[in-house]
């Protein structure tokens, strides 16, 4: 059977890191890369990791690529510190690696938002890269990183559990950072900002996810998630407009914050 190196990157996750790492005890190697947490995350993670590192945070992709280079085995399993691998999914991975059919695999995620599972809206199609052959793939070093090259991936039937956003403060703070980084990414790829997009894109985002994707069936959390996600979209396009204006006027552009 093929052996697996599991990788977890983290920052200030003392309330979640042990749950994540316990769910990965079945992996052949567990590597944790911490970006100098100021809480008890290093202490707690060190109890479970086969190899524990601390490294300055540059981007999600940069942290993961750095960790992959230090892995010992031929298959890489990547899990975020706010995720948990259920036993059914772990068994499915092991069975698949008895005779792998693909070089990379994706997994659907069951999102838990403010303490309750979300079944509709944008959450219904949430997924992530999960397992791939070492040496063939590399993450892009940008917000919402991709795994390249973009090959055909297999899919696991059982989902990963994603404990997203423990509080509204966390949601809003992360949205600010992702909006800034996302706007910079758009501009670097040739997209330019127009003020009207800061209105029409969030309106479409809310209408599509809340009504057509049935986000309203998630109750109060569905409404709150829909409103705040649309506010994130509005801020991203407003920042893109600001960057475009400042570049055009020759006054520079704001720098996007790091994202974790």
The structural domains of the chain, with segments of one domain joined by +, span 4-162, 168-249
Q: How far apart are CA 8 and CA 30, in angstroms?
A: 8
- Mean pLDDT, range 238-252, rounded to an integer: 89
- Mean pLDDT, range 236-257, rounded to an integer: 80
pLDDT per position as a tens digit, 124-146: 999 999 999 999 999 998 888 99
- Mean pLDDT, range 47-66, rounded to an integer: 96
- DSSP for 50-86? SEEEE-----HHHHHHHHHHT--SSEEEE--TTEE--
- Residue 256: the pLDDT is 45
Q: Which stretch of DSSP H or E encloses residue 242?
A: helix 219-249
- Residue 1: the pLDDT is 75
- Residue 166: the pLDDT is 86
- Supply the pTM of this predicted model: 0.89
Cα–chain-centroid distance for residue 59? Answer: 11
pLDDT per position as a tens digit, 1-20: 799 999 999 999 999 999 99
- Taking alpha carbons only, the member of 74, 65, 78, 86 closest to residue 30 is 78
- Taking alpha carbons only, the member of 47, 28, 32 closest to residue 94 is 28
User: Would you identify the CATH topology of the domain 4-162?
Assistant: Spore Coat Polysaccharide Biosynthesis Protein SpsA; Chain A (3.90.550)
pLDDT per position as a tens digit, 84-115: 999 999 999 999 999 999 999 999 999 999 99
- Residue 225: the pLDDT is 97
pLDDT per position as a tens digit, 161-210: 999 988 999 999 999 999 999 999 999 999 998 999 999 999 999 999 99
Angle at 32 between CA 116 and CA 155, to 5 degrees: 55
pLDDT per position as a tens digit, 74-91: 999 999 999 999 999 999
- Residue 249: the pLDDT is 86
């Amino acid at each position: 059977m093929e052996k697996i190196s599991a990788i977890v990157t983290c920052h200030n996750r003392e309330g979640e890191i042990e749950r994540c790492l316990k769910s990965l005890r079945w992996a052949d190697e567990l590597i944790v890369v911490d970006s100098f947490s100021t809480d008890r995350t290093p202490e707690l993670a060190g109890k479970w990791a086969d190899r524990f590192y601390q490294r300055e945070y540059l981007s999600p992709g940069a942290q993961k690529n750095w960790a992959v280079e230090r892995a010992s085995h031929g298959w890489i399993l990547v899990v975020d510190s706010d995720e948990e691998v259920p036993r059914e999914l772990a068994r499915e991975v092991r069975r698949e690696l008895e005779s792998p059919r693909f070089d990379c695999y994706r997994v659907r995620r069951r999102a838990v938002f403010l303490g309750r599972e979300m079944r509709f809206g944008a959450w219904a199609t949430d997924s992530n890269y999960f397992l791939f052959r070492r040496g063939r793939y590399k993450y892009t070093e940008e917000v919402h990183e991709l795994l390249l090259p973009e090959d055909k991936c297999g899919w696991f039937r059982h989902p990963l559990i994603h404990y997203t956003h423990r509080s509204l403060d966390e949601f809003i703070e992360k949205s600010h950072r992702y909006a800034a980084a996302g706007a910079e990414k758009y501009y670097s790829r040739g997209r330019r900002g127009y003020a009207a997009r800061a209105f029409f894109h969030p309106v479409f985002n809310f209408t599509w996810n809340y009504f057509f994707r049935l986000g309203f069936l998630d109750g109060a959390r569905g409404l709150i998630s829909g409103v705040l996600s649309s506010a994130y979209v509005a801020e991203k396009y407003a920042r893109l407009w600001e960057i475009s204006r400042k570049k055009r006027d020759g006054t520079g552009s704001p720098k996007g914050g790091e994202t974790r």
